[in-house]
Structure 1
Amino acid sequence: MLQYLLVVCLISSALADETQSGRIVGGRQAGPGQFPFQASLRNQRNSHICGAVVISNRWLLTASHCTIGTQAYQLRVVVGSIDQSSGGVSYNLLQKIEHPDFNDYTLENDIALLMTGYPIEMSRLVQPITMGNTMVPAGKIATASGWGKLQVDAAASTMLQYMEVRTLNNLECRLRHDVQNREKVNAGNLCTFLRVGQGTCMGDSGSPLIVEGVLVGLVSWGVPCAVGKPDVYTRVATHRAWILRTTGV
């Protein structure tokens, strides 16, 4: 696993040994332009750290645990390619803003804003996504995408993967988790589960969850990987006012 996500996993293990941040298993390979809002957040060595999501020509969203402890100049985003190893356009960051109430122990308010140094050029392969502003009910079919590991003991995927999942209400999400993780699921989270053997994995943090073409969540944490526990996302609608206030988007 990449260096920074290893640090995050250590933080999460203080909560529960089985909980790890980041984390697509049991998915399919995406096609060019299928997820034009999907970005790869990378470090100075151009190694993938987390996913990110284009919301305008200057701003992206990701998870706060992906950026905490770093400076904007140490990060970049690559857009327009489904292949981590080639293609796409790289943008340096001018600014990164973690949510002011982010808790790196509980991962509450696990959302951050990234501002590029100059405008992102839009094309068939690069487009912003509309953000959700209403609560998503249980039982909705959603789509998650990312470059995370294909299984817990495997390397990260080079090609962008995606899968369909189903949303849960937070009570069911808590009950499906072990006791030590239930209290981590809060009103600012959105959970999904479909079947054992399918779910997010390390490297998927900050990547999008989409319902009917709208961004409703960002991968935050889960029990690695696809072992039958719900995946937990930061609920975008909960933080819509903060995003608007900070960026104007």
Structure 2
Amino acid sequence: MFQYLLAVCLISSALGNEAQSGRIVGGRQAGRGQFPFQGSLRNLKNSHFCGAAIIGDRWLLTAAHCTIGNLPYQLRVVVGSVDRTAGGVSYNLAQIIEHPDFNELTLDNDLALLKTVYPIEMSFFVQPVVLSGNVIPAGIIATASGWGQTFVGSGLATMLQFMEVRTLNNYECKLRHGLQNREKVHTTSLCTFSRSGQGTCMGDSGSPLVANSELVGIVSWGVPCAAGKPDVYTSVPAHRAWIKYTTGI
């Protein structure tokens, strides 16, 4: 956990005082089986620190800043439960593959693939999500889910939370951010905003953003937490070719 907190501090410093990676505030509690692709990334102490999305029978997608510096044996994923503290099935990891062009300072290409040792057993409560291959325009309603903090300084959510947000184009996204963070919105980023008081928070990094039942983004960074600034995701359509080439799915 110390290693993870240190990594968060380093990334936060790199992004400037107002930006913080990791970070649902103002959401609602998810029902069992509502997000069967949602995974919880845990450390050796079984502590959740990031989310993940099931994309194949041995593959999950998360944020690279969640995994950087970790070896597969140090992490595992739990799937199949909306309760962070109970239930679900745990899978050890055989491989972690960060995007080759991931930049720790700017969080460009902030994606990592997780390969499980054994195939994930699918059920009504455990299912992969389809990778979107379409460019996501502004004004689309999407849904984010995660076990992150429900307000700054709170503990992690016990039950999976979700919220509906609206996508923004990158130009407007940059304008809504301060000068320090505008350069952290990349051509391969996807931004969302709903209202002040609603957004992602610490512990939501790596969690999925879906639209029309397809995975369109992975939580990367934002201004903590729900402070009236857009949240920034790594665009899945922009990286779909790399994901499919690397995994073979």
TM-score by length of 1: 0.98
CA distance in 2, matches of 1:244, 1:165: 27
Aligned to 2:187: 187
AA in 1 matched with 2:227:
V
Residue 134 (structure 1) shift: 1.3
CA distance in 1, matches of 2:26, 2:3: 24
Aligned to 2:139: 139
AA in 1 matched with 2:136:
V
Aligned to 2:106: 106
CA contact (8 A) 1:142 1:210 kept: yes
Aligned to 1:128: 128
Aligned to 1:50: 50
CA contact (8 A) 1:25 1:201 kept: yes
CA contact (8 A) 2:222 2:232 kept: yes
CA contact (8 A) 1:132 1:215 kept: yes
Query: Relative to structure 1, is the Cα distance of residues 110 and 148 closer, same or farther in structure 2, using a 3 angstrom cutoff?
Result: same
Residue 95 (structure 1) shift: 0.4
AA in 2 matched with 1:154:
S
Residue 25 (structure 1) shift: 0.1
SS at 2:9's partner residue?
Answer: helix
CA distance in 1, matches of 2:117, 2:71: 14
Equivalence map 1:29-178=2 (5 Å):
29-178=29-178
1:108-166 deviations in Å (ceiling 9; x for gaps): 00000000000000001000000011110000000000000000111111110000000
SS at 1:240's partner residue?
Answer: helix
CA distance in 1, matches of 2:228, 2:37: 28
Aligned to 1:239: 239
AA in 1 matched with 2:139:
G
CA contact (8 A) 1:177 1:230 kept: yes
Aligned to 1:27: 27
Unaligned ranges ≥5, structure 1? none
CA distance in 2, matches of 1:46, 1:14: 28
1:49-108 deviations in Å (ceiling 9; x for gaps): 100000011000000000000000111000000011100000000001000010000000
CA distance in 1, matches of 2:2, 2:169: 32
CA contact (8 A) 1:56 1:128 kept: yes
Residue 15 (structure 1) shift: 2.6
Unaligned ranges ≥5, structure 2? none
- What's the Cα RMSD here? 1.1
Equivalence map 1:210-221=2 (5 Å):
210-221=210-221
Query: Relative to structure 1, is the Cα distance of residues 148 and 72 closer, same or farther in structure 2, using a 3 angstrom cutoff?
Result: same
CA distance in 2, matches of 1:62, 1:7: 16
Query: Relative to structure 1, is the Cα distance of residues 139 and 25 closer, same or farther in structure 2, using a 3 angstrom cutoff?
Result: same
CA distance in 2, matches of 1:87, 1:9: 31
CA distance in 1, matches of 2:49, 2:195: 26
AA in 2 matched with 1:193:
F
AA in 2 matched with 1:195:
R
The yes-or-no answer on 1:199 pairing with 2:199 is yes
How many corresponding residue pairs? 249
Aligned to 1:224: 224
